[in-house]
Chain A
Amino acid sequence: MVPPIGKGPECEHVSSLLSPYLDGRLTPSEMAQVRAHLEACPTCADELRSLRETVVLLRSLPVLPVPRQFTLAVLPAPVFSRWFFFLRAATAGIATCLIAVLISMTVLLGGTPADGTIGPTADRPLAKASRGMETPVAGAPQRSTSVPEVMLSSQPTPPLVPTRTPMAGLIIQPASAPPEDPEGTPTSEGRAVPVARATITGKVAQSGGSAMWPLQEIALGLFGGLLALGSATGIVWWQERRRRF
């Protein structure tokens, strides 16, 4: 049998199988096909030999020693900068203040009498409640921001919702009450229907306090500061943690 000269179509096919043939990664039928072709084709046999020598050369490359250890360093505990501790302390301080303000608001808004009203009642005359504040004049119209009107009726009071006034901070008035009724509405019993408007100011004044803080604004400000500082603390923590290793 005359061996083929050059590379025919079968040689091209076998040539593509020589690499997995060397590794024994062909199917049994492919192995048999390649083996049969190699016996008849010296060109492909030479190609296989040179390929095998190439692989032997590659395997002769030495395993290089590592130039140093690549273990990760375990840093001591205080790995964060002063910035982190400052931000964390500031965040904690603001959070404490916010909690204090919220508690204050709760105390001022809470503690309602048994009838559910807030502010001065018949038992708690306005004259006492408005000490240090503007004094109501009989017959004179009252301003909406004035101290609370006297509650003369025992009728149940509508639900109260907090609103704000520029001077007195929180004011409590019925959700469905008309905005203005300075005189009150006489009833058939000759009593005035309660305007049911009371202020936190009244409570403060009644308890002898004189400070009138816009508590909602303070709380909102503190909340905003807490968000900003908390975010900054989180970012610094994350960045410094990434630098640990």
Chain B
Amino acid sequence: MDEAQLIQASRQGDVSAFNRLVLAYQQTIYNLAFRMLGEAEAAADITQEAFISAFRSLASFRDGSFKGWLLRIATNACYDQLRQRRRHPLSSLEDLVEVVEKLPSPEAGPDEYALRRELADEIQRGLATLPPEQRVVVIMSDVQGFSYEDIAQATNTSLGTVKSRLSRGRAHLRDYLAQKRELLPVRYRLSM
């Protein structure tokens, strides 16, 4: 069955069909949630919540990109989570960033592995300093490689808004990484 057929079957309550869609998109949704929240456990919860919510509201899905619709649900769930954190701050923003990522086994040796991990941690901290609206656009565009159109649908905004948010987010992140230049591995330092 193709995606449209799976969606149609899911609308009629076929959980098995929906689970095939889950398997197709769970990594995308989880990565978005992790980059947005910087915490593995919270990202897993948001991912599960997004799929449950999607299954319940499949009737409201009209023609268009299912991936974009799913990303919008996950994005809204991330916004809710971030708002909740702002209302009930448990720790500093820096502490919320979970720096341990499950990187693949280092093939280039432990030094290279450590460097990459250090870099990933610093970028993740930089992402956490962006406003959520810019963060989600930067993640979708530069980390996940989505088109402007997909991002516009997922964030329910216009292409112009996507462009401007992406421009400001990239500039902000560049400034952040430039400030942390000394902390970055030499080969990954920005040239400015």
**What is A's interface to B at a CB cutoff of 8 Å?**
16, 18-20, 23, 25, 46-47, 49-51, 53-55, 57-72, 74, 245
Contacts and interface: CB of A to CB of B under 8 A. Distances in A.
A60 B116 CA distance: 9
Contacts of B101: 62, 64
A70 B123 contact: no
Given A57-B119, A58-B143, A66 B27 contact: yes
B30 A66 contact: yes
A53 B191 contact: yes
Given A57-B177, A59-B143, A64-B30, A50 B44 contact: no
Given A64-B31, A74-B15, 18 more contacts: A20-B163, A20-B167, A47-B192, A49-B191, A50-B192, A54-B174, A54-B177, A57-B177, A58-B142, A60-B116, A61-B123, A62-B103, A63-B27, A64-B27, A67-B44, A69-B26, A70-B29, A72-B52
B142 A55 contact: yes
A61 B177 CA distance: 14
A150 B142 CA distance: 98
A51 B18 CA distance: 40
B15 A54 contact: no
B170 interface: yes
A71 B163 contact: no
Nearest to A59: B142
Contacts of A47: 192
A77 B131 CA distance: 46
A54 B19 contact: no
Contacts, number: 108
A46 B119 CA distance: 22
Contacts of A66: 26-27, 30, 44, 47
Interface in B38-82: 40, 44, 47-48, 51-52, 55-56
B121 to A, nearest CB: 10
Contact of B170 (A19, A60, A72): A19
8 contacts: A16-B167, A19-B167, A20-B163, A55-B170, A57-B119, A61-B124, A63-B31, A70-B22
A192 B30 CA distance: 92
B120 interface: yes
A62 B48 contact: no
B153 to A, nearest CB: 16
Contacts of A74: 15-16
Interface of B: 15-16, 18-19, 22-23, 26-27, 29-31, 34-35, 40, 44, 47-48, 51-52, 55-56, 101-104, 116, 119-120, 123-124, 138, 141-143, 145, 148, 163, 166-167, 170-171, 173-174, 177-178, 188, 190-192
Nearest to B29: A70
Contacts of B141: 23
Contacts of B171: 19, 51
A46 B170 contact: no
B185 to A, nearest CB: 11
B173 A64 contact: no
Contacts of B178: 50
Given A19-B167, A69-B23, A72-B18, A50 B191 contact: yes
B192 A46 contact: yes
Most chain B beta carbons < 10 A, residue from A47, A66, A68, A245: A66
B170 A54 contact: yes
A36 to B, nearest CB: 20
Nearest to A16: B167
Contacts of B23: 69, 71
Contacts of A50: 174, 178, 190-192
A72 B51 contact: yes
Nearest to B47: A70
B48 to A, nearest CB: 5
Contact of A62 (B15, B29, B120, B188): B120
A21 to B, nearest CB: 10
